[in-house]
Copies of this chain bind each other. A is one copy, B any other.
Amino acid sequence: MTQDRLSITLSALADPTRRAILARLASGEASVNELAEPFAMSLPAVSKHLKVLEKAGLISRGREAQWRPCKLEAGPLKDINAWLDNYRQFWEESFDRLDLYLQKLQKGDENDRKS
């Protein structure tokens, strides 16, 4: 239904196994067999996850017929980061407010000790 790029990327990432696959690929290319091992998953199950990641442009597959190593592609993650930029001020602001609050607490503490 929602076929815009960002929705496809976010939807592909909304799964802990797919995020774990990306985390594994962050340390280097891997074959489907190598990816399947730590997850104790069947090859078809891993292949299904890889197809979702590939469709979202989050991984690419080598062209060698036998091995076809999977490689992390960071472009779509960069797009999410760019989208998040619109909201960065909100969590930085709440951090600033917390910081102010802690400073206030600390000052109160100092005043307590002085009195």
Contacts and interface: CB of A to CB of B under 8 A. Distances in A.
Interface of A: 2, 4, 6-8, 10-11, 13-16, 19, 22-23, 26, 72, 74-75, 77-78, 80-81, 83-84, 86-88, 90-91, 94
A22 B84 CA distance: 11
Given A74-B94, A91-B74, A94-B74, A86 B13 contact: no
Given A77-B91, A80-B84, 12 more contacts: A2-B16, A4-B16, A6-B19, A7-B14, A10-B10, A10-B11, A14-B14, A19-B83, A26-B90, A74-B91, A74-B94, A84-B84
B26 A14 contact: no
